[in-house]
Amino acid sequence: MKFTFLGTGGAFDVVYGNSAAIVEFKGHSILLDCGFTVYPTLRQHQLTRNLEYILLTHLHNDHTGSLANILLHCHYFNTHCRPSILYPDDDFRDEIYEFLRLQIQKPEKYADFIPLSELPGITAVDTFGQHAERLQSYAYIFEENGERIVFSGDLGQPESLFAFLRGMPPKATTVFHDITFSEGNPAHTHYKKLIPLAQDYHILGYHCDPTQNPEDNPLPLVYHRPELLLSSRLEEAVG
């Protein structure tokens, strides 16, 4: 299992790209979120051909802004490329469908909709209302070969996600968690809330501007881990 982040920024940190990742999972490739900077990134690195599955945490623009473009691109320019959109439950499938219908009229022309349960090993944690009021959102837990990796999605209130994790059979767990350095931001998790949790979990922060990282933050950021970033992976491949 391997996570390669296409971006690690927050909604307005375009320099760092919208937070999204390509997850290599059980021989499949899953695009996890696809905000408005993701389509140009995929094009730049010629990655549109490899899109097999798309999984979304929620429908904010910095997580979905490239979705319609990606589907149209695959349909018109890539033969044998028809991404499948994984959905955790029927209500969220309907929301994604409606979101796409307003843009591309017939979403089923460009993508298949497949229940997440068809790809065993990924658990969706419903985080409705815990990022933004009345907004459906999910965290996802990936498990393969004894490894457990969690992707929080956007989450202002992390308590129920960690309660869920505590209820799972104990296992070394890496948590990619959205992080804010601003105490007044209720939409994302303040780093000080995550510090005590780092005793039990390997937590890495994302969805932030790394230049704002305070000196008293002991949590590592995905941005500072080259092995997790697309840009350095490619340089490695070339060099």
Residue 11 or 234 with smaller CB distance to Zn ion: 11
**How far apart (Å, rounded) are the C-alpha atoms in residues 64 and 235?**
27
Cα→Cα distances 26→153, 186, 194, Å? 21, 35, 29
Cα→Cα distances 172→31, 181, 220, 228, Å? 24, 26, 17, 18
Burial of 155 (0-12, 13-18, 19+ CB in 10 A): buried
**How far apart (Å, rounded) are the C-alpha atoms in residues 215 and 205?**
14
**How far apart (Å, rounded) are the C-alpha atoms in residues 222 and 199?**
18
Entry field: residues in the chain: 239
Residue 1 or 11 with smaller CB distance to Zn ion: 11
Q: State the nearest-atom distance from the C-beta of 143 to Zn ion, in Å.
A: 24
Q: State the nearest-atom distance from the C-beta of 77 to Zn ion, in Å.
A: 28
Q: State the nearest-atom distance from the C-beta of 206 to Zn ion, in Å.
A: 10
List of residues contacting Zn ion (CB under 5 A): 11, 60, 62, 154
Residue 22 or 187 with smaller CB distance to Zn ion: 187
Residue 87 or 206 with smaller CB distance to Zn ion: 206
Q: What phi and psi values does residue 42 have, to the nearest 5 degrees?
A: -65, -40
**How far apart (Å, rounded) are the C-alpha atoms in residues 153 and 128?**
11
Residue 60 or 177 with smaller CB distance to Zn ion: 60
**How far apart (Å, rounded) are the C-alpha atoms in residues 83 and 156?**
30
Q: State the nearest-atom distance from the C-beta of 110 to Zn ion, in Å.
A: 24
Q: State the nearest-atom distance from the C-beta of 188 to Zn ion, in Å.
A: 8
Q: What phi and psi values does residue 100 have, to the nearest 5 degrees?
A: -80, -35
Q: State the nearest-atom distance from the C-beta of 69 to Zn ion, in Å.
A: 18
Q: Do 12 and 188 contact (CB within 8 A), yes or no?
A: no
Residue 60 or 73 with smaller CB distance to Zn ion: 60
Q: State the nearest-atom distance from the C-beta of 58 to Zn ion, in Å.
A: 6
Residue 16 or 110 with smaller CB distance to Zn ion: 16
